[in-house]
Amino acid sequence: MQGLVMRRAKGQNQDAVTGFLSRPESYGLRDGTVERVETHCSIVFLAGDRAYKLKRAIRYGDADYTALAKRHAACNAELVLNRRTAPLLYLGVVAICRAPGGALAFNGPGVALDYAVVMRRFAQEYLFDRMADEGRLTPGLMRALGGEIAQFHNQAAPRPAYGGNAAIKRAMADIGRELSRHAGLLGQTRLSLLRQSLRAALLRVAPLLNQRRRAGKVRRCHGDLRLANICLWQGRPTLFDAAEFSEKAGSIDILYDLAFVLMDLRLRGLEPCAAALLDAYLTHTPDEDAPALLPLFLALRASMRAYTLADSAGRQHSPAQAAQKRAQAQLHLRAAIGFVHPHGEAHHALQ
């Protein structure tokens, strides 16, 4: 996501809705608890065998959820986009309404205060980022994931109005602006080296990017294809939580979409898994441009994670967690440079 300056909507108090969603009785549960998981833009309430995802009333870069109508539209868009890859996980959208007597209910009488996306709940142990942390990802599972992503990309709708050299140039400008906010942590010298290396890399492939846009390689992809947004559902790798907040974020080159998960694996030290994923993907979707484009795309994805991790470090209450986020941000920045710098190792790893 580009532009991490968060702005809360004036006059949009969601306390009544979050209070309602936090109570077990709201879901007809006589006992048990409701777990709450918070992200930059959403709050997810885990109740029984369901998950309810509420959009925060904020503006956060490309995501604008400040108005109720916008949150409703975003919920509907999330449902449509994610049913492409996870139709059994995404169940619908519900309204949280206030009845004339003041009580709140799902899809009840009265005024809709907010909306939530309803999903089937799955065990967090099957999230791929957790499986990676615990050493449970295997090359075989990554080959299956490569096939799933290739099938998804093959079926995704072309978006010729997006992508190309101009889009990557704008992404680089956005990323550079966000990284500069954390120059004290990341180091001005490294940031300058990254900017120079990215510009040189883009110059080498600019005509190829435009050619791929004309050839239909820019499609309505996932947009946020990290390990945290992939799970094992009914024995199959399943993509979920696609970027619904803007067409620009999701309408990208298919290799740029793939690069996020490849980068994620590489930076976790799972090179065999990354190689298996790439090999399976290219088996299903041959793409002779991959060696030329992936170094730049990997660098951009690592750069994005560098500034989101740096931003997250500033929001941590635990000094230990803040230090961990800062270290991860620095690791991602070094990796970004390595992917595109002439003396980096990324070029050799992709041959």
Note whether 154 and 84 are within 8 A (CB): no
> 249 and 62 in contact (C-beta within 8 Å)?
yes
Could you read off the pLDDT of 212-223 as tens digits, one per residue?
A: 999 999 999 999
Domain ranges of the chain: 6-121, 128-349
Residues 6+ apart with CB under 8 A from 47: 24, 26, 27, 29, 32, 34, 35
- The arrangement of secondary structure in 128-349, i.e. its CATH architecture, is Alpha-Beta Complex (3.90)
155: helix, strand or coil: helix
- Compute CA distances 27 → 109, 167, 199, 215, whole Å: 17, 44, 52, 49
* pTM as predicted: 0.89
101-151: pLDDT as tens digits: 899 999 999 999 999 999 999 999 999 999 999 999 999 999 999 999 999
> 261, 127 in Cβ contact below 8 A?
no
How far apart, in whole angstroms, are the C-alpha atoms of residue 245 and residue 100?
33
7-59 pLDDT, tens per residue? 555 556 899 999 999 999 999 998 889 999 887 789 999 999 999 999 999 88
The mean pLDDT value of the chain amounts to 92
Q: What is the pLDDT of residues 146-185, one digit of tens each?
A: 999 999 999 999 999 999 999 999 999 999 999 999 999 9
